[in-house]
Each structure stands twice: as structure tokens, then as C-alpha cells.
């Protein structure tokens, strides 16, 4: 039987693959996520996704390995996971009343080849009050999420609309990922 491995410890990616009724194993890659050679946010997420998948695939060459990396991009600046509550507040103020992109790089490495792609979703936020920002930060929810928010959580109330794949904003463009797995013989 073919083995599918998610090279990520993200609970959101795990939930999404479970939603697709896929049987898989989780083996987090624990790579250094510093990127110096990327020339664009798209290149950065693609390179990180590939590195995550490759770190696991090197030990499981007969398996299908999925690596992914998601970032929020506002005015060409990558907003990763906030390190402090102050940084989270600053990110949410930037996004307030504005549009931004959510990019997820996906790398699928398999015995039958590989698939590398970047999915982009535009997200439009309502104007946020300081009270909304601080109440949200007090939940702790923004601290482990790119751009300091999770669309699938309480920050759903901040989103005016999106253009693109909702699941991409959650952390994995599910339908495209499954289609690419099938294309590779899964």
C-alpha cells in the first residue's frame, strides 16, 4: 500500500487531510525556516515547502510526502507568525481595512515524480477597532498563525471577503493538493 506522509505538525493541515478522508502519517520535518536566497514571497513559500518535504522524503523514498508553507503578504512584506503580542497587534493593524494575499507553497514528492506549486488567495479585512484587535490577541489564537490570524477561528469576523481557495488561507489548498496526488499516481 502506498504511504502518504504530511511533513508538518500543523493541526490545521492535519484536519484538512482528514477532511479529504486520506489515510496519512505525520512526520514533521523540523527544518531551518530562514530563507535568504528567495527573491519573492512565492519563491520563499515554494522553497520552504520543498525543503520540508525533502527532509522527510529522503528517509521515505517510496512514500508520497507533502510539505507546505503558508505566509501572509501585505504590500510585498511577508508576515509570518508573530513572536510577541505587540507584533501580532501591529500585523492586525496593517491588515485592518486592507487586502492582502495568503500564499501557500506545496511540494509533493513521490516515487512517480514531484509537484511543486503556489496557491494565492486574496483576503479583504474590515476596519478593525483597537478593542477587536486586543480582544482577539487575548485569546492567544493569533500567536501560531501567519499574519497573526486564523480565518477558521475568531478572526473569521474580520474577513469581509476572499477571492480564491478558502482552505489555502487555513493552510493547505486541499482540492489542488488532492488532484496533484492523483496525478502522481496516488
Angle, in degrees to the nearest 10, between helices 85-95 and 130-138: 140
CA atoms of 171 and 73, how far apart (whole Å): 14
CA atoms of 135 and 17, how far apart (whole Å): 31
Backbone angles phi, psi at 32, to 5 degrees: -75, 120
CA-closest candidate to residue 70, choices 123, 139, 113: 123
- The verdict on whether 69 is a catalytic residue reads yes
Neighbours of 36 (CB within 10 A): 5
**Helix H segments across the chain?**
11-19, 41-57, 85-95, 130-138, 166-170, 174-183
Catalytic choice (32, 58, 69, 101) = 69
Q: Catalytic positions, please?
A: 69
Amino acid at each position: 500500500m502506498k504511504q502518504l506522509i504530511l511533513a508538518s505538525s500543523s493541526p490545521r493541515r492535519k484536519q484538512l487531510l482528514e477532511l479529504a478522508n486520506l489515510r496519512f502519517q505525520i512526520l514533521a520535518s523540523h527544518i531551518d525556516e530562514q530563507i535568504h536566497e528567495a527573491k519573492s514571497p512565492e519563491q520563499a513559500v515554494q522553497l520552504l515547502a520543498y525543503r520540508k518535504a525533502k527532509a522527510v522524503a529522503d528517509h521515505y523514498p517510496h512514500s508520497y510526502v507533502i510539505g507546505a508553507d503558508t505566509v501572509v503578504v501585505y504590500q510585498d512584506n511577508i508576515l509570518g507568525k508573530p513572536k510577541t503580542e505587540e507584533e501580532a497587534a501591529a500585523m492586525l493593524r496593517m491588515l485592518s481595512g486592507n487586502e492582502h494575499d495568503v500564499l501557500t507553497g506545496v511540494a509533493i514528492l513521490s516515487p512517480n515524480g514531484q509537484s511543486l506549486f503556489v496557491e494565492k488567495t486574496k483576503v479583504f479585512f474590515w476596519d478593525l477597532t483597537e478593542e477587536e484587535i486586543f480582544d482577539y490577541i487575548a485569546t492567544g489564537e493569533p500567536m501560531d498563525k501567519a499574519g497573526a490570524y486564523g480565518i477558521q477561528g475568531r478572526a473569521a469576523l474580520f474577513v469581509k471577503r476572499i477571492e480564491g481557495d478558502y482552505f489555502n488561507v487555513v493552510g493547505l489548498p486541499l482540492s489542488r493538493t488532492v488532484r496533484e496526488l492523483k496525478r502522481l499516481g496516488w
